[in-house]
């Protein structure tokens, strides 16, 4: 469903994600764990391009949603000035391509033909990011409910605006979802009057309003008071049981173990371990993962 | 002596006519300049902020930065002279040129107020809108701006009041009775020719200015109260 290929992400000179590849299949529940500052949020946000990737490609249902990455296309690399320069040195085609890739030699201004090839690729295989994002629900640590709208407006505004649902459908769906989380009486309240747990549950059903194929959670319970963590986790577990595809960044190890079909350990901008929860928690191999688990468990 | 002079002016139909004409012209000049300033300021703020999202807005944003730097960095009086006697040196165009200058000058300040108001809205609001599939402009218009308005209104109110007072230099480019350059300030100078008491002529002009400012503050307060009640509803139930 989501394919992330060789993702790099720099913030200025700071390399935060250094070549991460990740494949998420339908109905998988991938939990991302790792030390603070390791790049968990950044990687997650690269999946729906809230962070523009520096290089690498993100593919959703077979469609390219990031700009095409020249490093991944040999035919495009051959059109670059860098390739032509190295060719004059008499090296073999294979050597040149691998050298460009290994040393990430491309600069701005690789020529007109090169740029046109990138454009053509994106026209041929690409999908508009705004359309792609409708299929990917995102839940934030800070909830990010629209503060200028009531709970009901938060739920119906975007799906109606983007014509995912009609007004009537949206209203009905919103009422059902509110009933499900026992917040029907709050539909005309503004976010500022809700508790953290209530806000986060509304944020989750707001994502569900768009009928997403996959949900991305970035530490959904980290900003909550301890007594509210349970209600949010149990809603997420319910979605898991219904077969929703999910990617979850969390520090809740018990929850990770319970809900995950797969766990990624991210450290220093790389996926350092990728396995089923039993293996990760019972038989960790990576020394950094062992150290991390000994601290958090 | 002072009260006597004030009384002299108040009972002099011709002088009071000047004052009312000046009063009216000051309001008209301010009103139009505020309108120009708001439209220009809003456009400039949006251009500057959108440059963070749309690459093709980079060059317009540089031009806008130049504009705000120049117009906030030089005296209005200087701008007024350059615009009236050089840029728009068209016969009969003097009042319009002056109003445009005040508008453009105000736009530079307003744009910064609007920009500050927009950037003060939590970035998570934009992210949430974008993550659901709204584009930048849709999120800006429906999510960010409604929240920014509350932060912007007080600053714009202050800017309007400052502009009203700034228009008092309009007669520096020359003023004749019956044209828009004949403002409150110049009315009081005209009255001085008959009643040679600056304190008396000035006090009357001041009362007129104060009346306008008071009215503006009143309107701004009403708008603020209306907006304030919007998203806080439910908090005090
Ligand atoms: N917008 C940004 N601009 C600059 N640097 C950033 C930005 N976002 C993240 N970083 C840097 O990237 C690194 C990884 O951050 P990230 O938020 O992905 O870590 P994390 O694993 O999610 O940590 P945490 O568990 O604390 O949330 C950090 O060093 C952070 O300072
Ligand atoms: Mg994080």
Find the chain A residues whose C-beta atoms sit closer than 8 A to any C-beta of B.
Answer: 48, 50, 130-131, 133-134, 136-138, 140, 142-149, 157-158, 161-162, 188-190, 192-193, 203, 206-207, 210
How confident is the prediction for chain B on average, in pLDDT? 92
Q: Given an 8 Å threshold on Cβ–Cβ distance, is B235 in contact with A162?
A: no
Closest residue, chain A, to B134 (C-alpha): A130
Confidence of residue A121 (pLDDT cuts 50, 70, 90): very high
Q: Given an 8 Å threshold on Cβ–Cβ distance, is A144 in contact with B147?
A: no
What pTM value is reported for the model? 0.88
Closest residue, chain A, to B138 (C-alpha): A161
From chain B, the residues in CB contact with A210 under 8 A are: 132-133
* Strand duo A2-11 + A55-60: pairing: antiparallel
Sheet holding A29-33, edge to edge: A136-139, A214-218, A245-249, A29-33, A262-267, A270-275
**Best of A42, A46, A52, A296 to mutate for ligand 1, by most ligand atoms within 8 A of CB?**
A42
Q: Is the CB of A13 under 6 A from ligand 1?
A: no
The DSSP string of A221-239 is TTTS-HHHHHHHHHHHHHH
- The residue count of chain B comes to 237
The neighbour count for residue A214, using CB atoms within 10 Å, is 23
Residue A285 near residue A273 (C-beta atoms within 8 A): yes
Q: Given an 8 Å threshold on Cβ–Cβ distance, is B132 in contact with A144?
A: no
* Residues paired with A270 in a beta bridge: A267
Structure tokens at A240: 């898991």
Confidence of residue A297 (pLDDT cuts 50, 70, 90): confident
pLDDT digits (tens, 9 = 90+) for B129-139: 999 999 999 99
From chain B, the residues in CB contact with A149 under 8 A are: 231
pLDDT digits (tens, 9 = 90+) for B14-31: 999 999 999 999 999 999
Whether the CB of B233 is below 8 Å from some CB of chain A: the reply is yes
**R_g over Cα of chain B:** 22
pLDDT for B19 equals 96
3-state secondary structure string, B26-81? HHHHHHHHHHHHHHHHHHHHHHHHHCCCCHHHHHHHHHHHHHHHHHHHCCHHHHHH
Confidence of residue A152 (pLDDT cuts 50, 70, 90): very high
Interface A–B counts its CB contacts (< 8 A) at 77
Closest CA to A39 of A237, A194, A265: A265
pLDDT for A44 equals 97
How confident is the prediction for chain A on average, in pLDDT? 95
Question: Would the pLDDT of A191 be above 50?
Answer: yes
Whether the CB of B127 is below 8 Å from some CB of chain A: the reply is yes
pLDDT for B229 equals 57
- The residue count of chain A comes to 297
How far is the C-alpha of A129 from the C-alpha of A151, rounded, in Å? 26
* Residues paired with A55 in a beta bridge: A8
Q: Given an 8 Å threshold on Cβ–Cβ distance, is A210 in contact with B134?
A: no
Question: Would the pLDDT of A201 be above 60?
Answer: yes
Mean pLDDT confidence for A36-44: 95
Confidence of residue B178 (pLDDT cuts 50, 70, 90): confident
Distance (Å) from the alpha carbon of A193 to chain B's nearest alpha carbon? 5
Mean pLDDT confidence for A150-163: 97
Q: What is the ipTM of this complex?
A: 0.92
Q: Is the CB of A39 under 6 A from ligand 1?
A: yes
Q: Given an 8 Å threshold on Cβ–Cβ distance, is A157 in contact with B127?
A: no
Alpha helices in chain A (DSSP H): 40-47, 74-77, 81-88, 93-103, 112-125, 129-133, 151-161, 167-180, 196-208, 226-241, 253-259, 277-282, 287-296
- Nearest-10 Cα torsion for A273, A254, A259, A143: -100
How far is the C-alpha of A159 from the C-alpha of A169, rounded, in Å? 10
pLDDT for B175 equals 85
Distance (Å) from the alpha carbon of B226 to chain A's nearest alpha carbon? 13
**Best of A17, A20, A32, A39 to mutate for ligand 1, by most ligand atoms within 8 A of CB?**
A39
**R_g over Cα of chain A:** 22
A44 CB-contact burial (10 Å; exposed 0-12 / middle 13-18 / buried 19+) = buried
pLDDT for A296 equals 86
Closest CA to A259 of A1, A33, A3, A22: A33
How far is the C-alpha of B229 from the C-alpha of B231, rounded, in Å? 6
pLDDT digits (tens, 9 = 90+) for B66-86: 999 999 999 999 999 999 999
């Amino acid at each position: 469903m989501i394919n992330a290929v060789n993702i790099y992400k720099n913030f200025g000179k700071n390399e935060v994600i250094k070549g991460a590849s990740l494949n998420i299949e339908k109905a998988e529940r991938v939990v991302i764990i790792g030390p603070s500052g390791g790049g968990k949020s950044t990687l997650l946000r690269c999946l729906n391009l809230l962070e523009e990737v520096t290089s690498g490609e993100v593919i959703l249902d077979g469609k390219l949603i990031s700009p095409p990455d020249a490093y991944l296309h040999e035919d495009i690399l051959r059109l670059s000035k860098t390739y032509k320069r190295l060719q004059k040195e008499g090296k073999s085609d294979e050597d040149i391509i691998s050298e460009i890739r290994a040393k990430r030699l491309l600069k701005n201004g690789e020529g007109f033909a090169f740029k046109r090839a990138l454009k053509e690729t994106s026209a041929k295989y690409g999908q508009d990011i705004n359309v792609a994002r409708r299929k990917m629900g995102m839940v934030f640590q800070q909830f990010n409910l629209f503060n200028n709208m009531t709970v009901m407006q938060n739920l119906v505004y975007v799906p109606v605006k983007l014509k995912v649902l009609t007004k009537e459908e949206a209203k009905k769906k919103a009422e059902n979802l509110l009933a499900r989380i026992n917040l029907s009486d709050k539909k005309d309240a503004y976010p500022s009057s809700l508790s953290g747990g209530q806000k986060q549950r509304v944020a989750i059903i707001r994502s569900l309003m768009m009928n997403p194929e996959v949900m991305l959670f970035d530490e959904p319970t980290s900003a909550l008071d301890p007594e509210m963590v349970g209600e949010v986790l149990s809603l997420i577990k319910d979605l898991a049981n219904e077969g929703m595809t999910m990617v979850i960044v969390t520090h809740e190890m018990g929850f990770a173990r319970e809900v995950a079909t797969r766990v990624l350990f991210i450290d220093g901008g790389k996926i350092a371990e990728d396995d089923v929860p039993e293996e990760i928690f019972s038989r960790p191999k990576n020394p950094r993962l062992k150290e991390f688990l000994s601290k958090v468990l | 002596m002072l009260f006597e002079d004030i009384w002299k002016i108040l009972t002099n139909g011709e002088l009071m006519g000047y004052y009312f004409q000046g009063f009216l012209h000051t309001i008209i000049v301010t009103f139009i300049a505020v309108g120009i300033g708001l439209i220009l300021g809003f456009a400039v703020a949006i251009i500057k902020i959108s440059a963070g999202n749309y690459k093709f807005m980079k060059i317009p944003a540089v031009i806008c930065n130049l504009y705000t730097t120049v117009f906030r960095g030089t005296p209005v009086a200087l701008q007024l002279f350059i615009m009236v006697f050089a840029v728009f040196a068209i016969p009969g165009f003097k009042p319009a040129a002056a109003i445009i200058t005040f508008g453009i000058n105000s736009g530079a300040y307003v744009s910064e107020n609007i920009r500050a108001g927009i950037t003060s809205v939590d970035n998570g609001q934009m992210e949430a809108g974008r993550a659901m599939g709204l584009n930048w402009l849709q999120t800006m218009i429906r999510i960010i701006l409604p929240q920014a308005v509350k932060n912007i209104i007080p600053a714009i109110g202050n800017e309007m009041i400052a502009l009203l007072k700034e228009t008092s230099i309009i007669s520096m480019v020359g003023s004749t009775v019956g044209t828009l350059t004949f403002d409150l300030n110049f009315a009081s100078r005209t009255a001085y020719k008959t009643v040679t008491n600056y304190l008396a002529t000035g006090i009357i002009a001041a009362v007129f200015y104060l009346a306008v400012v008071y009215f503006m503050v009143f309107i701004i307060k009403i708008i603020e109260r209306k907006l304030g009640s919007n998203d806080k509803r439910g908090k005090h139930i």
